[in-house]
Structure 1
Amino acid sequence: MRVDLGAAALEVEDHGEGVPVILLHGFPLSSAIWTPVRTAVEQVARLVTPDLRGFGASAKPAAGYAIADLADDVVRLADALKLDRFVLGGHSMGGYVALEVAAAHPERLAGLVLIDTRAEADAPEGRRRRDAGIARIVAGDAAGFLDEFVAGLVGPSSATRAPRVVAELRAIAAEAAPDALAGCLAGMRDRPDRRDLLAAVNVPALVVVGQEDSLTPPASSRALASALPRATLVEIPSAGHTPSMERPIPTAEAILGFLRAHYPAPPAALRPRAPR
């Protein structure tokens, strides 16, 4: 369905019953990365998966790609769906957005799911890589940038065992607007360090990481989980940076286990589903 937020209209999948769970995709992808785990998660939750602005089938404005802008979209989406509190999850860049929501609107979170992401800001070398990507996209080579970037998303096991995953990721990434690609690279480059926030995130949290992730290595996720007061860490074997695509069954099991442990029935404090 289409949800008009004013600044941007988002394409959103909203299905299932139970605790509201909003899952945010990473860069440069779309909500399609949740397709392999969607049916399982919808058994126990109301699963909301938007295409962030500029990606997938959502509107593609020329500007508004700072992490804070994307976080504002998420809160406006929750308001439009009449969700007072919800479990918020994010993959990679989506995790940066989730942490921004946690910083700006902690009262809205009933839980946090962080998949192959980190709390620390980019190091100087990371910022230089973002700048190089922006320059390449602005010069008209978005396709070449995506081709190389997507190849690094999967782990070596997936590249050998399931090369179709790379093809699927390329097709998803091809839907992204060049403005969104360049804008989000700048937004990620400029995002603040959120490590000081973590100790105050007093809701159940799940940290998931692919054991073969070279972009967000498992050591980073272990540190993230250790810093969150109520976190569970799950490492997915034979997966790189996109475990929901590479190893959907263990990824779904991790999310299901977390939701069943902490939200066996919709908490009374959460607003029930509004008629649609």
Structure 2
Amino acid sequence: MDFRWPPPPDGRPDRYRPPVNRGPHTGRPTLPTPPTELVATPHGVELECLTTGSGHPVTVFAHGLAGGIAETRPLGSGVRGRRVFFQFRGHGRSAAPPGHWTYLDLARDLRAIADLHGATRALGVSLGAGALCRLLADNPNRFEKAVFFLPAVLDQPRQRTAAARLTELLAAVEAGDAAGVAEVISLEAPAQVRNTPAGWAYLRQRLEQLMRDGLAQALAELPDQVALPDRRALGEVTASALVLACRGDDLHPVEVAEELAAALPRATLHVYDRPGVLWTERADLRERIAAFLNGQGLDD
């Protein structure tokens, strides 16, 4: 096996203790998260939010399913202006309102944070990319620029792989099973880094956050849903867009990125040759996003 639990040098899976907060590690795809705040939104859902940088323009960052602020922060490291990161409902310290959730609800979360901060640009990762699609389909003039990183769904249901993995993760979090949580989230890193110091640093940070804040059970319904009824609605979007994907990622098929880029009138598509780009192509990914949002050209 290329993964083992408990992590060295100590600890047992039935005796989880949050790790000591340490500085960033080389190669780590997340950043230590500074204190956040809970923001009241017009639709009545309090959302956890973090603002960095200053001035204009303002960019809002939307994370993936079971992810959070820590996973999106590296994507904004070279972006100018004010950067606003938030947690969707059911994630982190954000509220988990009762009822059935859809991508329309996620789009409302994203729209609320963008409006409250005057954001003119947006970046969405996986689930966040789907929420951004829904927002733009309903409000095609809302943003000037949009980045879609690893889009997972448009108007066709996802493969069952995503639902199965989320179900396993939710059950482990609900049971307080740190070993089970670790087994699932270890799959987020490429196999070659899972037993490296950088891999363990990433795993410990993700594990600490999930065991501390949990995940709402209502999230289990999202992998079976589509982001929008008909992709043709994206044909009215006025924003220039950058769509980023990678080959070999079962949860984020390249075909979805290709369909999204084709549906958007002003989109550029870039596909990496292998999965795990936050680990294997970190510098290029950050430079590509920054160049696009900062208004510079970047050859494909």
TM-score exceeds 0.5: yes
Question: What is the Cα deviation at residue 228 of structure 1?
Answer: 2.3
> Which structure shows the higher helix fraction?
1
Aligned equivalents of 2:155, 2:89: Cα separation in 1: 24
In structure 1, the partner of 2:22 is none
Residue 63 of structure 2 corresponds to residue 25 of structure 1: yes
Aligned equivalents of 1:201, 1:262: Cα separation in 2: 21
In structure 1, the partner of 2:282 is 248
TM-score, normalised on structure 2?
Answer: 0.71
Residue 211 of structure 2 corresponds to residue 177 of structure 1: no
Equivalent residues in 2 for 1:123-162, closer than 5 Å: 123=158, 125=160, 129=164, 133=167, 137=171, 140-141=174-175, 143=177, 146-159=181-194, 162=198
In structure 2, the partner of 1:234 is 270
RMSD: 3.3
Q: What are the superposed Cα offsets for residues 176-216 of structure 1, whole Å, 9 maximum, x if unpaired?
A: 534x2x31231332334442233332321111123442211
Which of residues 44, 49, 53 is equivalent to 1:7? Answer: 44
After superposition, the Cα gap between the structure-2 partners of 1:51 and 1:108, relative to the gap in structure 1 and judged at 3 Å, is: same
Q: What are the superposed Cα offsets for residues 65-85 of structure 1, whole Å, 9 maximum, x if unpaired?
A: 32211211222223322x2x6
Structure 1 residue identity aligned to 2:51 = D
Aligned equivalents of 2:243, 2:149: Cα separation in 1: 6
Contact kept in structure 1, 2:161 and 2:251, CA below 8 Å? no
Question: What is the Cα deviation at residue 95 of structure 1?
Answer: 1.0
Q: Which has the larger radius of gyration?
A: 2
Unaligned segments of structure 2, at least 5 residues = 1-36
In structure 2, the partner of 1:110 is 144
Q: What are the superposed Cα offsets for residues 143-186 of structure 1, whole Å, 9 maximum, x if unpaired?
A: 477445423323334446642334433334445534x2x31231
Equivalent residues in 2 for 1:45-194, closer than 5 Å: 45-63=81-99, 65-81=101-117, 83=118, 86-118=120-152, 119-123=154-158, 125=160, 129=164, 133=167, 137=171, 140-141=174-175, 143=177, 146-159=181-194, 162-164=198-200, 165-178=202-215, 180=216, 182-191=217-226, 192-194=228-230
Contact kept in structure 2, 1:31 and 1:50, CA below 8 Å? yes
Structure 1 stretches of 4+ moved >6 Å: none
After superposition, the Cα gap between the structure-2 partners of 1:213 and 1:127, relative to the gap in structure 1 and judged at 3 Å, is: closer
After superposition, the Cα gap between the structure-2 partners of 1:145 and 1:120, relative to the gap in structure 1 and judged at 3 Å, is: farther
In structure 2, the partner of 1:272 is none
Unaligned segments of structure 1, at least 5 residues = 264-276
After superposition, the Cα gap between the structure-2 partners of 1:234 and 1:102, relative to the gap in structure 1 and judged at 3 Å, is: same
Size of the aligned set, in residue pairs, is: 254
SS at match of 1:80: helix
After superposition, the Cα gap between the structure-2 partners of 1:174 and 1:213, relative to the gap in structure 1 and judged at 3 Å, is: farther
Q: What are the superposed Cα offsets for residues 50-104 of structure 1, whole Å, 9 maximum, x if unpaired?
A: 11122123234444632211211222223322x2x62122111111111111122
Which of residues 187, 196, 201 is equivalent to 2:232? Answer: 196
Aligned equivalents of 1:174, 1:152: Cα separation in 2: 17
Aligned equivalents of 2:257, 2:275: Cα separation in 1: 14
Q: What are the superposed Cα offsets for residues 118-146 of structure 1, whole Å, 9 maximum, x if unpaired?
A: 3243157468748x828973995474774
After superposition, the Cα gap between the structure-2 partners of 1:139 and 1:60, relative to the gap in structure 1 and judged at 3 Å, is: closer
